[in-house]
Amino acid sequence: MDVEQPTEPKKTPTEDQLEPETNTSEETPTEDKTDNEVEIKEQEDIPSEESQEIKTPPEETTETTKDDKDGETIEQDGDKEEQTSEEPKEYTPEEIEELKRKKDEYQEKANEYKKKRDELHSQSKKMAAERDGLNAKIRTLRNQINDFKTKRDEFNERVQHAKQQRNQLIESHIDTKKQIRNLQKNRSTDAGINLGKLKQTLRKLENEQMTQAMNPRKEKKIIENMRELAQQIKAEEDRLNKDPKLKQAIEEERELKDKAERQHENVEKIAKKAQTEHQNMIELLKQLDVLVKKTTEIQEKIVETKIKADTVHRDFINYVNTIHDLEKKISSSERKADEQGRKADASAIQQEAQEIYDKFIRGEKLSTEDLLILQKAGLL
């Protein structure tokens, strides 16, 4: 007896997996050594929404047909096999029973594959929901990163502007100090005193007294010289400070120095705010990188699960097609058996009618039942 077995499912190539790339280059604040402050470098690249978010591929679905044999029949895609002109094989009652047993066995297998396929589809949907949730978080993080970057860049612009103002104050302060030294030099020269030379001599004696070993007598003499020089310098400075023009220049120099120091503090304050925004952005970039990697892993699992579901579905289809073939054979055999039975019954009736008709020809008496048989056989 011929019983068809389910065909082996063909392997299909795997789907392209989506692997989003995340470029989260961290920006490193640089230190301005001359100004003792932190200035934030520009962030060259912030990952775009396209590069950070896992794109969802078109949903692959496996549709089931409306007509269901025990709720399990599926239409198979593809070209139908060409019909052959050969007569279908006739099966004995025992062979028909064997076909029915095989059909029930394949039906159980088909149900198992359908259940497994649906479970895989359910897993895929759950993972897709988790992936979409992570993508929503990725979009939120990206917006927050852009906000921090915007604030940081604004603070950096303010730092640059504040530094320009501070540097202008420093230049003015240096120019004023030069002006003061020139005034002091001119006034001292007019009085026959070189104040700069007196200060230079005093520094030299102080260095000699601190670094060289000497006897008490020599050290005492040096100390006396230092005292005299200090008195001369103080007397000259007091005299110079009474000069109105020089006094005004000194006051201006002190005022410029205070302003430059306050402006420097302002630069450091703004730079600190920029640093805070930068650190917040870096922290979110790290979180973003973790989410993107996790989303990529989930997407890969989704693709693998769909491939498994497609393989199981093809196995299911193979069993369903085999069941259909068995049903056709069973139906055809039972129909032929019914036709043969009806033909046998008709032949028996025809033979009985012929015998009754022969009795009628011989002039024998017929019953009402005999007449009905003749009528049914078309002999009346």
Separation between Cα atoms, residue 280 and residue 152, nearest integer Å: 10
The span from the CA of 330 to the CA of 107, in Å, is: 15
Judge whether 271 and 38 are in contact, CB under 8 Å.
Answer: yes
pLDDT at 184: 73
Kindly state the helix (H) or strand (E) to which residue 99 belongs, with its residue range.
Answer: helix 93-190
Does residue 25 have a pLDDT over 80? no
A 10 A CB-CB count for 360 gives 16
Residue 51 has pLDDT above 70, yes or no: no
| Count of Cβ atoms closer than 10 Å to residue 318 Cβ | 21
pLDDT of the residue at 23: 38
32 phi, psi to nearest 5 deg: -85, 100
What is the model's pLDDT at position 193?
67
Percentage of the chain lying above the pLDDT 90 cut = 38
Torsional sign, CA 229, 232, 235, 240: negative
Q: What is the pLDDT of residue 264?
A: 95
Please write the tens of the pLDDT for every residue from 240-262.
677 788 788 888 989 999 999 99
* CA 2 to each of CA 87, 97, 99, 260, 272: distance values in angstroms, whole numbers, following the listed order: 15, 13, 9, 103, 86
Check whether 16 has a pLDDT greater than 80: no
pLDDT in tens, 361-373: 777 777 777 778 7
CB under 8 Å to 121, separation ≥6 — which residues? Answer: 62, 309
What is the H or E stretch that residue 39 is in? strand 37-39
Q: Region 200-205: what's the mean pLDDT?
A: 84
Q: Are 205 and 229 in contact (CB under 8 A)?
A: yes
pLDDT at 344: 67
3-state secondary structure string, 117-169? HHHHHHHHHHHHHHHHHHHHHHHHHHHHHHHHHHHHHHHHHHHHHHHHHHHHH
* pLDDT (0 to 100) of residue 105: 92
Cα first-last separation, the chain: 47
pLDDT digit string, tens, across residues 273-311: 999 999 999 999 999 999 999 999 999 999 999 999 999
Residue 75's pLDDT band (cuts 50, 70, 90): very low
The predicted structure's pLDDT at residue 135: 96
Residue 76: band (very low, low, confident or very high) from pLDDT cuts 50, 70, 90: very low
